[in-house]
Structure 1
Amino acid sequence: MEVSTEVDANPFGKYIISDWHFLESMDGRSTCPKCGKSRKYFCYTCYVPIKDLEGKLPVLNLPIKVDIIKHAKEIDGKSTSAHAALLAPNDVSIYIFPCIPDYDDKSENVSEFNVREGNGKMLTIFFSQIVLVFPGKDAISIEEFVSRQSAAKVGASKKRPYSSDKPIDRAIFIDSTWNQCKGIFKDSRLRDLPCVVLKQRITQFWRHQEGSPRWYLATVEAVHQLLVELDLAIKSHSADPESKKTRIEGEANQKDDILSHEFDDLLFFFKFMYEKIHTLYDHNQLKSYKRPLK
């Protein structure tokens, strides 16, 4: 438990998150400007702030699109996926399963390269630019995913251009309990997508989920982690020596804040609510933080 104790002592110490303390002065509830329902801070179904907070919250522009697929039984007010949609409204979309997009259209989702083999024959290689963040059987790390694309590009001619120049254009997350997400994963619209897994990071989510270790992140934590890992992986395979240096230093010494902080405000409401919960309850008494690491 030494690792978790060290992290819990200063859980947001290596992130740069905008000051949220002005939220503490807000009393009562307001109506959502879209649906008219009573809300505190923001509407968790329309993903917009209440009127008094309009223009006061951080707004992020993400380098990729993020689709979050929620299980129909996932409770809206308890999910952190709304945080991501609220703070990055141009790049994050939330879908309620089974009403999800069809990710099968190769003309939009796949880059195509011609590679000449040793015998002189041309081999066509396809790379999906859409990934599903899920520990499937053949899941690989973000670093490995980017590395494989970079290796394939060496000596290859681009047969069909990317929909973007990024190795990943869209990431899909499943927002549900572990038992519920297996059914979503098996959906024909998702099962053929390449799966990636995130590096282990201890969650600070206060909501207890029976049977899950502390490596299981809240949705907004997972989105933040993917963006950080993708940023490092791209710098790793960049032709720019300074980018490579930044990535190596960042991986070797994450405690010194060498990592990019451009995505940290995704945790704006998460940190605020974490602090609010911890003014009411003792951290060591909350069941969520007593879960094992494995």
Structure 2
Amino acid sequence: MSSLDHDQRLHPSCRDKTTVTSDSSDAHELAKQPLQGLKLASHAVLEEAQQKGRLKCSKCGGSRMFFCYTCCSLVGVTPQDIPLIKLPVKIDIIKHPNETDGKSTAIHAKILAPSDVNIYTYPCIPDYEKEKMVLVFPGPGAVSVQDMMQCLHHQSDSKSSYTFNEPRIKRLKTEEVQGATHTAENPESGTPDGAEGLESRVFPLQRVVFIDSTWNQTNKISTDERLQELLRVELKMRKTCFWRHQKGKPDTYLATIEAIYYFLKDFHEHCLAQEYKGEYDNILFFYSYLHSVVNKAKTSAKKC
């Protein structure tokens, strides 16, 4: 269990309320700082950048702090100052055209994991192979991360069975089949056993799709026919810590960066079958810092 999970267990709503326990002072502190204890890179660089104030983006000229959400580039900090994260799967984020860039947390993922994250503005959606992709979005028929791989394997097996029964234009020669088998069994083929084991656990999942918009805007994207056939995955037990909580929506409706973090954590534990040791905590690098800044501002406002 990560510290974030522990904090949410003590305080499910993850907002500034007091939880009644035998140690009220500790519980109150955890309730106020639900993101504390994650394995994060130092926030000192963000504190220094905040003291300098907003700066102009070198690309678009917009006034920004930390990064430009329009150009997906850093402002006031260098790439060496922030963590660079390698993800176990590729991530696509489909962004609603009316989503306010400055309020979106999707940009955090793109900046922190640039080689593994792509952001598309709806109606632009890539062509997806449904047997190799999942859509992280709640709704009827959505499965948990724990059940996701089994469902994908079932889809893949069904497609393979269908393809196998189709007439083949040309059958492989016997020597070709034997050669392929020999290569696969050759211990000097150059493929580490660990890599083969990893591939067998994650195949056929290639890419994970997230929707970035307000919850009132999600219907248009989620019902798009290009996403309809993707297996849906729901993070049913997670609670949001987002300071822009949408009125009338349950606290299980996560901010985009929260959904990405929880998916990666569950994927690591349940699909890769490895103990989670904070490998992807830094995906919350900007989010956790902004969360603390907002909480401090709220606290100061109450004292005035």
Normalized against structure 2, the TM-score is what? 0.71
Q: Is the 8 A contact 1:203 1:216 kept in 2?
A: yes
Match of 1:290 in 2: none
Structure with max Cα Rg: 2
List runs of 5+ in structure 1 lacking aligned partners.
104-108, 111-127, 237-242, 247-258, 286-294
Distance 1:68 1:80 in 2: 11
Match of 2:270 in 1: 233
Task: Mark the CA change 1:182 to 1:67 in structure 2 (over 3 Å): closer, same or farther.
Answer: same
Question: SS at 2:233's partner residue?
Answer: strand
Partner of 2:117: 92
- 1:1-294 equivalence runs, <5 A: 3-4=12-13, 5=19, 8-26=31-49, 27-50=52-75, 52-103=77-128, 109=129, 128-149=131-152, 166-167=202-203, 168-236=205-273, 243=274, 246=275, 259-282=276-299
Partner of 1:292: none
Partner Cα distance (2:48, 2:37) in 1: 26
- Unmatched runs of 5 consecutive residues or more in structure 2: 1-9, 14-18, 20-26, 165-198
Percent identity between the two aligned chains: 40
Higher helix share goes to which structure? 2
Greater share of residues in strand: 1
- Tell me the number of residue pairs that the alignment of Structure 1 and Structure 2 aligns: 239
Task: Give the superposition deviation at 1:283.
Answer: 9.9
Q: TM-score, normalised by structure 1?
A: 0.73
Instruction: Report the CA distance between 1:284 and its aligned residue.
Output: 11
What is the RMSD computed on CA atoms of the aligned residues?
Answer: 2.8
Cα distance in 1 for residues equivalent to 2:249 and 2:229:
26
Quickly say closer, same or farther: Cα 1:77–1:142, change in 2 above 3 A: same
Indicate conservation of the 8 Å contact 1:57/1:87, yes or no. Answer: yes
SS of residue paired to 1:140:
coil
- Contact kept, 8 Å, 1:41 with 1:53, in 2: the verdict is no
Contact 1:142 1:198 in 2 (8 A): yes
**Residue type of the partner of 1:3?**
P
Post-superposition Cα deviations, 1:126-175, rounded to whole Å, max 9, x if no partner, equal: xx120001113211011111234567899xx8979xxx652421111111
Q: Which structure has more RCO (C-alpha within 8 Å, separation ≥ 6)?
A: 2
For residue 204 of structure 1, what is the amino acid of its counterpart?
Answer: C
